[in-house]
Structure 1
Amino acid sequence: MPDWIAHILVAWTIGTILGFKFKQFNSANIALFIVGSLVPDIIKITMLFGYLGIGLSKFFIPLHTPIGSLIIATIFSFFFKEQRIALFFLIGGMFTHYMLDLLLFDINGGIYLLYPLSWNQYQLGLITNYDFNITVLSIIISFTVYLISNKIHKRQLLKHKT
């Protein structure tokens, strides 16, 4: 199940790997990438209202669509000096979120990828909501990337000292 841990780790891992090649993927922008990976799940705020007996989940459903997430990410980007760069990294993180969510078998039918153009839902149905293999795999892969990243940074520090 792509839970928040998996979404965060996959975004961090992809951002870190891209950072090996592209200097724009620095720690600040990787943080935006991670935030972007959580933007589609802003719909989870409805859980708080649900505990209070206020049913808002249907109102917030469009936020868990690419267009809804894009609107939220655009609003978030206004808080940054370099709005285009912030939006780029937020969108990149959102992309990782939807790629993970597409893997799910969702009893509700999947993701509204083409909303508002289409109400069709999409899913690959490869894993269930109760399968934490993706989370475990993301932990293992991100830890491996972390070790490799540390080794590369140590080599770079030694190279600059000499």
Structure 2
Amino acid sequence: MPDLLTHVLVGYILGTLFARRVSGKPAATTTVVMLGALLPDLTKIQIVVPSSRMEVLLGVPFAWHTLHTLGGVLLTAGIGALLVNPTNRRRVLGLLLAGATSHLVLDSFLLKPSGYASPMWWPFITTGLPTPGLYVSYDWWPTLVAGVLALIVFLRTSQRISEHQ
């Protein structure tokens, strides 16, 4: 997967572009999309709490890696949307899903030895799709590209804000 910083930068880019189109609070819009871009990596909690421990606690089969699928994203974004004011739930759900989907799309371009991505579009597609293999998880250039694009978006947005003041 591209590193976490890349996912956050892409979330920033998308959130800032969405904020220009949506009325309301642009900073909040950008932040929610950035948070959504982190949702699939909630699987990292398995470092602290292994799936086997969760199975014992819950009494049912459990795997953290399912959070890194579209089904897991729908679940976590739905929970996230329930945590906000009811009048904002639909918007927050959409923004969280936009960020999380960008994460899954970026991960689907990874170079895999099998030539297939993990089944991240589960439950709608249960097998891994062929991946174009544009980069490996430790490549630095996706982060550089995302950083440059985020800087451009930031500068353009800052310029527009200063022109309106």
Aligned-residue CA RMSD in angstroms? 2.3
1:14 aligns with 2:21: no
Tell me, yes or no, if the aligned pair for 2:39 and 2:77 is still in contact at 8 Å.
yes
Q: Which runs of 5+ in 2 are unaligned?
A: 56-61
Match runs of 1:141-152 below 5 Å: 141-152=149-160
1:92 aligns with 2:98: yes
TM-score normalised by length of structure 2: 0.83
TM-score normalised by length of structure 1: 0.84
Structure 1 vs Structure 2: percent identity of aligned residues?
Answer: 25
Displacement of 1:113 after TM fit?
3.5
Partner of 1:153: 161
Any runs of at least 4 consecutive aligned residues in structure 1 with deviations exceeding 4 A, and if so which?
53-56
- 1 CA distance for matches of 2:119 and 2:70? 8
Displacement of 1:29 after TM fit?
1.7
18 and 114 in structure 1: CA distance in 2 versus 1, 3 angstrom threshold: closer
Tell me, yes or no, if the aligned pair for 1:9 and 1:139 is still in contact at 8 Å.
yes
Match runs of 1:27-66 below 5 Å: 27-49=27-49, 59-66=63-70
Query: Secondary structure of 1:155's match?
Result: helix
- 2 CA distance for matches of 1:6 and 1:156? 30
Partner of 2:109: 103
Q: Which runs of 5+ in 1 are unaligned?
A: 158-162
- 1 CA distance for matches of 2:132 and 2:25? 30
Number of aligned positions between the proteins? 154
